[in-house]
Amino acid sequence: VSQAVQMTVQPGNPKLIVSKHIQGQFAEHLGRCIYDGFWVDPALNVPKQGRIRMDVVQALQKIKVPNLRWPGGCFADTYHWRDGVGPTAQRPKMLNLWWGNVVEDNSFGTHEFLELCQLLGTEPYLAANVGSGTVQEMAGWMEYLNANEDTPMVLERRKNGHPEPYKVSWWGIGNESWGCGGNMTAEYYTDVYKRYATFAHDYPGTQLKRIVSGANGDDAHWTETCMKNIPLNMMWGLTLHQYTLPTDSWTGSKGKATGFGEQEYFNTLRNGLRMELIVTKHAAIMDKYDPEKKVALLVDEWGVWTDVEPGTNPGFLYQQNTLRDALLAGTTLNIFNNHCDRVRGANLAQAVNVLQAVILTEKEKMLLTPTYHVFDLYQVHQDAQYLPLQFQSPEYVLGTEKIPALNASASRDKSGAVHISLVNLNPNKALPLETALPGVSWKKVSGRILTSGSVSDYNTFDKPNAVQLADFKGARKKGDNLALTLPPKSVVVLELK
Ligand code: AHR
């Protein structure tokens, strides 16, 4: 029996909050996320409001999605919002050039997206077209949504069915401007950003959160240039995109979504754990220019990116989702929680049917992926007070390589309950754990666990509950301490009250 890991929950700073927006989702006009995911054929025999699929909405309501990013992604810099408002039959069609060259009929546009957000009770996070749009186009979108005087834009919005302003405050100015958003240099983009941000006006009742399109992975120069060139009062946030591939290569095979062995499992985790280094690196650069941490770092695209499911359109990025991906989601959310002084937003790519989706659909059927269950477990951290943890993780060794087996984060919610989320990445070894909680008075512990027989297990439309949550009864009070054994390959969230 290995020795118990000794963990301490520290009191922390009562003012430091884990922003709920760390648990945001992303919905792009890509593959079957919007069309056939959220927005379905009127003939499909599922509960619907208009064409919005309500079983999907209900599942997302349950995990309290705090914000939803739309319409992209790369698609955002090809999107012209006026094509998606007004009578549906009159909306022009376009080709979705980034994703499969399919015809986009614009039946899902601004009003439909904002109706979806309202149903979800979520904050809309729009990405403005900087790559192929104009300042006037973006400024017009803001006026259309947020103004309330009798201007032609506002009259048009009212005619299209929404008398009151929508009050959309989250605005990304471009997406991946270093790549699909225009292949710009950081120096050029920061000038472009300032120009766009100048005309991104606040209307009465809506203060904009202007968000800078940030770095690719560990590109320090991009972050440094944005922080140096853009005045702090011109930006609310700065983004970062970081995906995890099972292999290390964007060309050729990215790695399997299912049916992988332990080496590929290990490689995926090793690559995913780079998020810690990357966030630390960008946060340190931001600290130099913004020591008071006014600007939020938003990891507004993250997730596991594998090969697509055999037989599906490669441009649709449709992949299955295993316990491995859920373990990495729990790990990533722990990393974000532990950096909540700077990371105040993040968006998993993507919500439905694309990349590391929380929901997959097939005709009338729908399933919740293992990753969905992690968001279900972690919702207890939303807007809770951050509690730092101290511990030394044992290693998970495979061949000549090793990674930390254990990661964790903790918070205290408004009712005083303490939640600890624990991930054991080792697929073969349980982890005994003893935790001291000085200053916390608690009487009982309860918990829930996500695990399965194999790290490559996943849910199918025929067996949608193969991987699901269960009660965790393995934690107990030992004196003032908390004692438990964390099963191999598991995510456990404990509640102490
Ligand atoms: O999420 C898929 C794509 O990944 C997004 O469109 C783009 O921003 C990123 O490269």
Cβ of 73 less than 6 Å from ligand 1: yes
Atom in ligand 1 nearest the alpha carbon of residue 350: 1
Active site residue 301: yes
Cβ of 279 less than 6 Å from ligand 1: no
Atom in ligand 1 nearest the alpha carbon of residue 181: 8
Cβ of 349 less than 6 Å from ligand 1: yes
ipTM entry: 0.99
Domain boundaries, the chain: 5-9+388-496, 19-382
Domains 5-9+388-496 and 19-382 share a fold: no
Atom in ligand 1 nearest the alpha carbon of residue 355: 1
Active site residue 364: no
Domain 5-9+388-496 has CATH 3.40.50.970: no
Active-site residue, selected from the candidate residues 301, 362, 395, 434: 301
Per residue of the chain (497 residues), give pLDDT as tens. Answer: 579 999 999 999 999 999 999 999 999 999 999 999 999 999 999 999 999 999 999 999 999 999 999 999 999 999 999 999 999 999 999 999 999 999 999 999 999 999 999 999 999 999 999 999 999 999 999 999 999 999 999 999 999 999 999 999 999 999 999 999 999 999 999 999 999 999 999 999 999 999 999 999 999 999 999 999 999 999 999 999 999 999 988 999 999 999 999 999 999 999 999 999 999 999 999 999 999 999 999 999 999 999 999 999 999 999 999 999 999 999 999 999 999 999 999 999 999 999 999 999 999 999 999 999 999 999 999 999 999 999 999 999 999 999 999 999 999 999 999 999 999 999 999 999 999 999 899 999 999 999 999 999 999 999 999 999 999 999 999 999 999 999 999 999 999 99
d(CA 89, CA 58): 29
Cβ of 406 less than 6 Å from ligand 1: no
CATH code of 19-382, in short, is 3.20.20.80
Residue from 176, 239, 308, 348 whose mutation best tests the ligand 1 pocket (most atoms within 8 A of CB): 176
